[in-house]
Structure 1
Amino acid sequence: MERSLGFLFDPNKCIICNACVNSCNEHYGNLNWRSLLVFENGVRIGVSIACNHCDNPLCMKVCPANAIHKDDMGIVYIDPNECIGCGYCQWACPYEEPKFNKEGVMTKCDLCRNRLLNREGLPYCVESCPTGALSFGWLDKPKYEAPYLAPYEITKPKYEIKSPKEGEIKASPLKIRKENKYIELLLFTILSELSLGLLLTRIPFYSLLSFLLLAIGLIPSIFHVNKRNRAFRVIMNLKSSWLSREVLFGGLALLSLFIEDLLPMFTLVYYISVVLLSLSVISSIMIYMLKTTPSWYNANTPLSFIGTITTIFPLGFYFNHNIMFIIIPLILAFIELVMLRTQKILHIPYLLLLLISIFIPLTSILASVTGISSEIIARRNFFEKIKYYGLPTP
């Protein structure tokens, strides 16, 4: 574990004066990078927290624009000229630290990096603390005595915090939120999965339909970023960002499908399209497998995304008469229902229609419509009821 700079906080010295928060806001435009949480359980206990400059900064790893960096001192900072304003780093941070400014660019505490580099003084929050409750220094593995914050192993924060000598902090870091701009995400994930399903079934006009669905999903996703003039940067972090990989593979799949529509005689292009679109869907799944978001970080996420692909399979059964196009979605739907106890409004009707389709093939069309509708409803809940790690509510 690298020795790097981080914050130290002793709640036993904190007098809850808010000087640390006020000083930070005064110098950085009221962006609320630092928070002072006040808990009351017999006694009042303050906890001052900002960016923890983690050893495993998930915000940096997931950033598709490669706009978040970590310097030799262990300081994690954002280059405002590289940020595209997608907000993915907010999902990855269990301390709710990254904040958008009024220009739609993500910002965060950088431990007053310029002041340190230019030897102008300590971080403003540390300098303003009148009791020495908040300080900073070189840390190896800090003493992280804070069960009310996200588990240490998720990001390995460089934040040493002591336990209060009086009283006890009883709070949970698990919270519920709704993704505000999720329509674009819902469209892209659902439509890219259906696009792959069409490719795999090869029903009539599958290539054109697959191209159209993928295009309809990709185009609105551009509007999910705040800085559209920098949208090209979304593929700048192929090394560690699944979002970069999703966009790259999705874009290449779209191009491949376009070529396939123009030159259908080249069967190799079909298989290239299948591989590229499969890689894009796999990347989509991995985007949401965040340890900071327990409602996504479980087996139901990949099963649901793969299940959406197979909702097209009943149509494949109707046109191609291949019984496997009924068996595969039946197995997946059964696993979701029995093993994961997934609550989907139309899940049981979908299962029943799949079974009936074996004997009445025309029913498979209704089965596909029901399955797709079920997945859309479930995906909406996926984005509207998100359980995540954040700052506990006092």
Structure 2
Amino acid sequence: MERKLGFIFDHDKCIICNACVDACNKAYGNLNWRSLIVMPYGESKTALSIACNHCDNPTCMKVCPANAIEKNDMGIVRIREDKCIGCGFCTWACPYEALKFNDMGIMTKCNFCYDRLVGGKGIPYCVEACPTGALSFGWIEKGEANVDYLPPSDITKPRIVIKQPEAKESIRANVTHTKREDNYLGLLAFTIGSEFILGYSLLKLPFWGIISALILIVSLLFSVNHAKRTDRFYRVIYNLKTSWLSREVLFSSLAILFYLLSIVNPLFYYLALLSLTIGVISSIMIYMLKARPSWYKADTPISFVGSIFTMSLPLGYYFTHNILFIIPLILILAIEIASNHTKFRLGFNAVSIVISLISIFIPEIIIISEIINIISEVEHRMEFYEKVIYYGLPKV
């Protein structure tokens, strides 16, 4: 394996003085790029000094839609602050909580004191400040960070060498945590809105062209609010090569155009449907991140695909009274219950199944099922954003 720059940390040499953190914050304005985490260790304690690991598989760089993150030949992963749109998706993909917003809504992180290194001005401030040599850096072939008190190293392949304590004591710390995703309403509106429209237009329900275009425009504009630098939002489609967010925005935007054109020429319907299908698939893939275990599971695609049909099939039956809409509706509701059998999901979907069966005899009652399904999908998506289980730095 090619040698790249990486940090090296030796537990036995660390005296928990916090000099590394202080030096970093003094140099870069208290952005907290480096953390010193103190953990129980037998009858005593030990600490881990950690910042960005300049990973061999930098998932933050791959998901960035603006191409604002790059990795050079030395292995240093840097953020081009003039290109960042402040969407925060890189923080979703990083299991080490290495990325931090500054006051201008731009993402920042440890850059290995790049200017010092390439300018021959010195070594990283944190390394320079360490009085015992516990924190050092150098050219290493691969990282050695497969320890119980850090997230699984196979997610990003961090290029950090951790020299564990010589004493055979266990280090106790948790690396999975729960939090609420900030400012998620725009994301909820866009995902639910695009899924509903895909089902609505697939069934060619009344005024599908104009309704599809309007709902997509409103929900897409609402989702723009998630980016802190909306003045640069045009860059969101700059990384079609690896970013599912870039693909989602591009193809969903194309779908809007094709839906509008389909009002004049129905042949554009097929391009609209294809574009939005790719957009929704991209939406699903955005959330399939190993760094977030609560999202990286079968319920995510089942939920996203399921909502396409749970919110459109009842309307299809309402307008046509064709019983063939009821059978797949009941099946999909049952699959959603099986994939996520929380009390709320179980209760609402079970009631919707019963109402759907009754609607075979009283068709108009299916509109109640439609309302219940919308509530169920929105509530489930809110829980999706509000109870995020993620990998992060160890906590005692």
TM over 0.5: yes
Aligned residues of 2:71 and 2:77 also touching (Cα < 8 A): yes
How far, CA to CA, are the matches of 2:293 and 2:40 in structure 1?
Answer: 27
Match of 2:239 among 234, 237, 240: 237
Aligned residues of 1:116 and 1:122 also touching (Cα < 8 A): yes
Q: Which residue of structure 1 aligns with residue 25 of structure 2? A: 25
Q: Once the 2 structures are TM-superposed, how far is the Cα of residue 260 of structure 1 from its aligned partner?
A: 1.6
Q: Which residue of structure 1 aligns with residue 147 of structure 2? A: 146
Q: Once the 2 structures are TM-superposed, how far is the Cα of residue 342 of structure 1 from its aligned partner?
A: 4.7
Aligned residues of 1:5 and 1:137 also touching (Cα < 8 A): yes
Q: Which residue of structure 1 aligns with residue 303 of structure 2? A: 304
Aligned residues of 1:193 and 1:308 also touching (Cα < 8 A): yes
Q: Once the 2 structures are TM-superposed, how far is the Cα of residue 2 of structure 1 from its aligned partner?
A: 3.5
Q: Once the 2 structures are TM-superposed, how far is the Cα of residue 324 of structure 1 from its aligned partner?
A: 3.5
Judge which range, 143-152 or 24-33, deviates more.
Answer: 143-152
Judge which range, 144-153 or 47-56, deviates more.
Answer: 144-153
Residue type matched to 1:157 in 2? Answer: P
Q: Which residue of structure 2 aligns with residue 71 of structure 1? A: 72
Judge which range, 211-220 or 228-237, deviates more.
Answer: 211-220
How far, CA to CA, are the matches of 2:342 and 2:312 in structure 1?
Answer: 20
Q: Once the 2 structures are TM-superposed, how far is the Cα of residue 165 of structure 1 from its aligned partner?
A: 2.5
How far, CA to CA, are the matches of 2:282 and 2:349 in structure 1?
Answer: 25
Equivalent positions of 1:1-20 (< 5 A) are 1-20=1-20
How far, CA to CA, are the matches of 1:184 and 1:77 in structure 2?
Answer: 28
Q: Which residue of structure 2 aligns with residue 292 of structure 1? A: 291
How far, CA to CA, are the matches of 1:339 and 1:97 in structure 2?
Answer: 32
Q: Once the 2 structures are TM-superposed, how far is the Cα of residue 331 of structure 1 from its aligned partner?
A: 1.5
Q: Which residue of structure 1 aligns with residue 133 of structure 2? A: 132
Residue type matched to 1:376 in 2? Answer: V
Please list the CA deviations of residues 173-222 of structure 1 after superposition, one character each: whole Å capped at 9, or x if unmatched.
10001011111111111111111111012121222221221112101111
User: What are structure 2's unaligned runs of at least 5 residues?
Assistant: none
Match of 1:172 among 171, 174, 180: 174
Aligned residues of 2:146 and 2:152 also touching (Cα < 8 A): no
Pairwise CA RMSD: 1.3
Residue type matched to 2:225 in 1? Answer: F
Q: Once the 2 structures are TM-superposed, how far is the Cα of residue 227 of structure 1 from its aligned partner?
A: 1.0
How far, CA to CA, are the matches of 1:323 and 1:11 in structure 2?
Answer: 67
* Secondary structure, counterpart of 1:155 in structure 2: coil
Identity of aligned residues (%): 53
Q: Once the 2 structures are TM-superposed, how far is the Cα of residue 232 of structure 1 from its aligned partner?
A: 0.2
Please list the CA deviations of residues 267-319 of structure 1 after superposition, one character each: whole Å capped at 9, or x if unmatched.
32111111111111111000000010000001100110111111211111221
Q: Which residue of structure 2 aligns with residue 102 of structure 1? A: 103
Q: Once the 2 structures are TM-superposed, how far is the Cα of residue 339 of structure 1 from its aligned partner?
A: 4.9
Q: Which residue of structure 1 aligns with residue 381 of structure 2? A: 379
Aligned residues of 2:334 and 2:349 also touching (Cα < 8 A): no
Residue type matched to 2:208 in 1? Answer: Y
Equivalent positions of 1:308-347 (< 5 A) are 308-310=307-309, 311-343=311-343, 344=345, 345-347=347-349
* Secondary structure, counterpart of 1:221 in structure 2: helix
Please list the CA deviations of residues 340-366 of structure 1 after superposition, one character each: whole Å capped at 9, or x if unmatched.
435415221122222222332212211
Aligned residues of 1:31 and 1:101 also touching (Cα < 8 A): yes
Aligned residues of 1:95 and 1:390 also touching (Cα < 8 A): yes
Equivalent positions of 1:25-104 (< 5 A) are 25-41=25-41, 42-104=43-105
Q: Between Structure 1 and Structure 2, how many residues are aligned?
A: 391
Q: Once the 2 structures are TM-superposed, how far is the Cα of residue 334 of structure 1 from its aligned partner?
A: 1.0
Please list the CA deviations of residues 230-275 of structure 1 after superposition, one character each: whole Å capped at 9, or x if unmatched.
11000000000000000001111111111122x0xx3321111111
Aligned residues of 2:59 and 2:90 also touching (Cα < 8 A): yes
Residue type matched to 1:373 in 2? Answer: I
Aligned residues of 2:314 and 2:367 also touching (Cα < 8 A): yes
Confirm or deny that 1:280 pairs with 2:282. no
How far, CA to CA, are the matches of 1:15 and 1:384 in structure 2?
Answer: 38
How far, CA to CA, are the matches of 1:200 and 1:188 in structure 2?
Answer: 18
Judge which range, 159-168 or 287-296, deviates more.
Answer: 159-168
Aligned residues of 2:299 and 2:339 also touching (Cα < 8 A): no
Match of 2:206 among 204, 207, 218: 204
Q: Which residue of structure 1 aligns with residue 226 of structure 2? A: 224
How far, CA to CA, are the matches of 1:329 and 1:342 in structure 2?
Answer: 19
Q: Once the 2 structures are TM-superposed, how far is the Cα of residue 172 of structure 1 from its aligned partner?
A: 1.9
Aligned residues of 2:146 and 2:153 also touching (Cα < 8 A): no
Residue type matched to 2:38 in 1? Answer: V
Q: Which residue of structure 2 aligns with residue 249 of structure 1? A: 251
Q: What's the TM-score once normalised by structure 2's chain length?
A: 0.96
How far, CA to CA, are the matches of 2:276 and 2:16 in structure 1?
Answer: 53
Q: Once the 2 structures are TM-superposed, how far is the Cα of residue 140 of structure 1 from its aligned partner?
A: 1.8
Q: Once the 2 structures are TM-superposed, how far is the Cα of residue 328 of structure 1 from its aligned partner?
A: 2.0
How far, CA to CA, are the matches of 1:103 and 1:69 in structure 2?
Answer: 20
Equivalent positions of 1:354-393 (< 5 A) are 354-393=356-395
Q: Once the 2 structures are TM-superposed, how far is the Cα of residue 129 of structure 1 from its aligned partner?
A: 0.6
How far, CA to CA, are the matches of 1:222 and 1:329 in structure 2?
Answer: 32
Please list the CA deviations of residues 49-90 of structure 1 after superposition, one character each: whole Å capped at 9, or x if unmatched.
000000110000000000000000010000000000000001
How far, CA to CA, are the matches of 2:109 and 2:28 in structure 1?
Answer: 10
User: What are structure 1's unaligned runs of at least 5 residues?
Assistant: none
How far, CA to CA, are the matches of 1:355 and 1:300 in structure 2?
Answer: 25
Aligned residues of 2:318 and 2:364 also touching (Cα < 8 A): yes
How far, CA to CA, are the matches of 1:162 and 1:348 in structure 2?
Answer: 54
